[in-house]
Structure 1
Amino acid sequence: MRASEILKRVPSETRIRAAIGRCLREVAVLRQLLKVARKRDELSPREGDNEK
């Protein structure tokens, strides 16, 4: 494959930046979900803990 063929396959800088932006937003949402899940786990006892 020649260099010119490879360059045709590379997306534009704006498309790459847009993809990075989408990923960062997704990561932010996942971090929020993780915080919520941790709080929920701290507040509610786990299912198997009260069988002792």
Structure 2
Amino acid sequence: MRERMGSGTWEAVHRLDRDTSGCLLLAENPAARDQALALFRRREIAKA
């Protein structure tokens, strides 16, 4: 992952589809991670 995307501080935010493809949502920095987590908590992101 780091070879393809660069040497950022990537953090896993959510495992969107762990039962099938294992799709991951990653954040490049803590601020992006916190924003994405807040959207999930408020149910403003639909996994479709």
TM range, smaller chain: 0.3 to 0.5
Larger Rg: 1
Give the TM-score of the pair, scaled to structure 1. 0.34
**TM-score of the superposition, structure 2-length normalised?**
0.37
- Structure with greater strand share of residues: 2
Taking CA–CA contacts closer than 8 Å with sequence separation of 6 or more, which of the two structures ends up with the larger relative contact order?
2
